[in-house]
Structure 1
């Protein structure tokens, strides 16, 4: 029945509600994998408003150019000051894990090519985002309002968060929030005996399967909790495509899907005989997680969501 449901969902029209993260949130299993985070509570995802640093600028009208910057704004409790936000290049809303209020913020066009006219009409006093691909766009944005780019490398998500905090006039609060996350991740890790488990983290693309290494966003969060990784997943790169399904083995396996293509490919692989030869599959210890959080999140709110997912699944079995 779960497989039939997935086929039906995957075959629907390409609307914002048809992406893989929506399917993950509304389905209890994907090809035998238990879905984590179905009942995720996003009502308090964004923090209460934090105070500005003494003498620092305190922006009142913020335009956000990408989801990672939006995560930072949310983590510091300033999302209600956002007067415009870029959407993904596919035109989907903001990441759902940030809550319904964030998803309803007015759009200023796609993240890859935001509409400068819409941004100017929003009259921001701060524009915040990653480094744009087009230097000319950066110059046009700077002509509208003070503009801060904090870098585009997801491996450096903690540094990017602190840089965003400084740009928002909240460097002190950003450091405090990061320190609190670090302490909470370590505490949760101790509570669930994280160091006793070697977790595999893999991501399906439309025609690929990749290991998410310790340097990836989710890999760093696992490390913050003390979760161990199988020897063949201790990569010196953030992510690496694999051909041998044996490299996906672990005490348990976390899987995510890059869009509907990744879901279709992943479902096919996870229903194969070779996949069912993996020990974690036999032991019913495969869990599907939200790609928008584990791979695309790249921020403090997403990191806390990953910790919550670990807390609810690391020592569990799929029933």
Structure 2
């Protein structure tokens, strides 16, 4: 009887051991099947919550113009992007790098069907423009939205770099840009005391730009003084009248025009710059008024355009 009981216990222990081994093998196989996703997946906090991205994305759709420049600067070509505000369909300064990229609407009117057709594994946009369609975008692929679009493009750039799992490369791009700022500022020296004025012409609107604008941030980073009334931490004075032309004066004046193709903004610009009040500005009469590209100095709003602004600064002040 005792021998039978010992044999029974031995059988039970053997069964338990076999079950445990089988369970362990099953778990090991499960880890092998899904381990890559677990090891390479990551999360990104953004304006609409937390995006769970299973792996470094290869097919990216970008829904902001500044974001397009961010990806290109990191060596990433998106499969789809919103059309540039000016161009057919891309800004001239990025057109060559965007060859073969599909247009998926504009920042304000995204074509969801076009986005879905590209089968992206990541979508990047901005809450400012795409909050209402976030759920639809997120149903297509993990979606990361910045809070807004701002003069200081570097804030969004860091989010975009995190979203594509390229924080090191992103920091490299930022470090190179900021080194350019430091070097150019040192070269400019005493010229930084010159008071800079920035003006924009649009159809039906004339603006005097302040510090919290794309060009305003760059000027501040370099250390330039700003014209009287423009050294304030907001975006711009809008809908100015000709009586405000004297407020456009400075030691140096940069002005640019947002032309959509109907010629209205260009006509407005010509009317204003030929006005006697404008011609009497110190910056104009001294030959220090410069007409520059609206795309580069304002509309594009990304890292590539920022570097092109620095190129122009070097040409104007150092050559």
TM-score by length of 2: 0.76
Counterpart CA distance in 2 for 1:301 and 1:240 is 26
Match of 1:280 in 2: 283
User: Alpha-carbon deviation of 1:231?
Assistant: 2.5
Match of 1:300 among 303, 306, 315: 303
Per the alignment, do residues 186 and 276 of structure 1 end up closer, same or farther by CA in structure 2, a change over 3 Å counting? Answer: same
User: Could you say which structure has the larger radius of gyration?
Assistant: 2
CA contact (8 A) 1:200 1:254 kept: yes
Match of 1:17 in 2: none
**2:75 equivalent to 1:77:** yes
Match of 2:224 among 211, 222, 227: 227
Match of 1:109 in 2: 105
CA contact (8 A) 1:204 1:256 kept: yes
Match of 1:246 in 2: 246
Match of 1:203 among 185, 200, 205: 200
Counterpart CA distance in 2 for 1:236 and 1:223 is 11
| SS of equivalent to 1:97 | coil
TM-score by length of 1: 0.76
Match of 2:116 among 120, 123, 126: 120
Q: What RMSD in Å do the two structures reach over aligned CA positions?
A: 2.1
Match of 2:60 in 1: 62
CA contact (8 A) 1:254 1:288 kept: yes
**Structure ranking higher on relative contact order (CA contacts 8 Å, 6+ apart):** 1
| SS of equivalent to 2:157 | helix
| SS of equivalent to 2:119 | coil
Which structure's residues are more often helix, by fraction? 2
Unmatched 5+ residue regions in structure 2?
Answer: 1-39, 43-54
| SS of equivalent to 1:254 | strand
Query: Once superposed, which parts of structure 1, at least 4 consecutive aligned residues long, lie more than 3 Å away?
Result: 54-57, 88-92, 132-136
Instruction: Give the paired residue count.
Output: 261
CA contact (8 A) 1:225 1:307 kept: no
CA deviation digits over 1:132-186, x for unaligned, max 9? 5454411111111111112223134211010011001111221232122112112
CA contact (8 A) 2:208 2:248 kept: yes
Unmatched 5+ residue regions in structure 1?
Answer: 1-53
| SS of equivalent to 1:253 | strand
